[in-house]
Amino acid sequence: MSFLDSLGDGWTIYLWLIVGGMIIAASIYGIRWASRNEQFDEDIKYLVFSESDKDKMDPEEYAKSRKVLAEQEASRDRVLKAQAEARNQAA
């Protein structure tokens, strides 16, 4: 406790500045990661639908949901293939 008393007035503002900077840096890193890993996809809402929802949806919405599902499956296959290649190169 004597160390904190020896710092004088106004030292807490520097602590807040450091913590604030760390929060901003972590936020920027998280947004950058999300952008590179296809996390900002507004069509993701269509992935909750299945074949049994066809009669409950408009034809264009159903077609959009099937298209989005096919794109997501292709993206998943591409990512899994890249991960497998990376593992094979490391071994």
Q: What are the residue boundaries of the structural domains of the chain, listed by start? A: 1-40, 42-91
Integer CA distances (angstroms), 41 to 14, 31, 44, 46, in order: 38, 13, 6, 11
The predicted pLDDT at position 49 comes to 82
Residue linked to tokens 């269509």: 46
Torsion of CA 29, 30, 36, 42, to 10 degrees: -150
How far, in Å, are 7, 9, 16 from residue 19 at the CA level? 18, 18, 5
Report pLDDT digits (tens) over 30-81: 999 998 887 887 887 888 888 888 888 888 988 998 999 999 899 889 989 9
If one counts every other C-beta atom within 10 angstroms of the C-beta of residue 65, the result is 21
